[in-house]
Amino acid sequence: MFLFRVWYICVVVFALLGIPARAWDYCQENWCPRPNDHVACNNNGTLGTKCFPEARLLPLSDSLRYFILHKINFYRNEVASGKFPGFGAALRMASVSWDPELATLAELTVKQCSLSTDSCRNTRRFKHVGQLIGHVIFSARKHSNLQLLDHKIDNWFNEYKRSTNKLGNEKPNSFRQLIQERATHMGCGVLRQRRHQKWHQQFIVCNFAREDMAQEPAYEEGLQPASGCRSGPNPSYPYLCALEEHYDVNALDRYYTTKSSLRIKILYSEPKRVPVKAREEYL
């Protein structure tokens, strides 16, 4: 009976959020390091205790989704070109597409009104899902959703100033997640609330098909950008691969090897989740 209730809740929540009725039982699937760690397990989509009374989830229109994808693919294309200071050309960097399931899981996380990443948000298709969380505090004067999203993505990208693409010598950060070679898909959730009479706050959570891992570079460098793309370059972003390019987004042993296969499983299946430090960011 309990398992039926969990399954029923998942079906109802994902139907309301636009996911097909074929919902997975996130409490039972073996996608997370520990049972019940998944953000969708026993989660009915209600707002978290840290949210203010007027908190509300913002629906992302087609134009806003397009803007997010264009902004991130534009930045990826810039880095992949080999002309970006300190970063070589990307041999086979993916173009990013929108994934509805990743977006729905991001909405569950953003409803917590917190700057801490969730424990696990993996899916049947993507076994090592990365996550970025940010927020902006702004005055009651008008700020469009597009302006706030633009500002937050710019801030994530600006972490390039303290990033490299070196193997095993870099801690995961927002910039490296944005340029992760095999981050083929993404989905975001956005929430807005009024903190005080004068100040409003907007949270954004984005999930990516591939998590940035310290044991591997963000992307493989080459002499010519996109020269490793089997399907050719993307006509809109010529230094990225075409959208139909196939990637093994779940491969674990590409750069990191050890005699103990169990050790590999622990390192990659149970990445350390470090809560994002809250930083008051005003507009």
Query: What CATH number is associated with residue 92?
Result: 3.40.33.10
Tell me, yes or no, whether 224 lies in a domain.
no
Identify the domain containing residue 120 by its residue range.
Answer: 56-208
Model confidence over 170-180: pLDDT tens digits? 667 899 999 99
Closest CA to 122 of 38, 7, 184: 38
Collect all residues with Cβ–Cβ distance below 8 Å to 20 and sequence separation of at least 6: 14
pTM for the model: 0.83
Classify residue 118: in a domain, yes or no.
Answer: yes
Residue 30 included in any domain:
no
With respect to residue 203, please indicate whether it lies within any of the assigned structural domains. Answer: yes
Q: What is the pLDDT of residue 276?
A: 41
pLDDT tens readout for residues 145-189: 999 999 999 999 999 988 888 765 566 789 999 999 999 999 999
Q: Say if 233 falls within a structural domain.
A: no
78 Cβ neighbours under 8 A, 6+ residues apart: 84, 239
How much of the chain exceeds pLDDT 70, in percent? 78
- Residue 23, domain member (yes or no): no
Q: What pairing do the DSSP bridges indicate for beta strands 97-98 and 185-194? A: parallel
Residue 19 lies in a domain: no
Q: Provide the domain count of the chain.
A: 1
Helix (H) or strand (E) holding 8: helix 2-16
Asked if residues 283 and 140 have their Cβ atoms less than 8 Å apart, the reply is no
120 DSSP 8-state letter: B
Q: Is the pLDDT of residue 197 over 80?
A: no
Residues 6+ apart with CB under 8 A from 60: 68, 103, 188, 189, 190
Give a yes or no: residue 10 inside a domain: no
Instruction: Identify whether the C-beta of residue 136 lies closer than 8 Å to the C-beta of residue 155.
Output: no
Core vs surface per residue 130-162: b (16+ CB within 10 A) or e: bbbbbbbebeeeebebeebbebbbeebbeebee
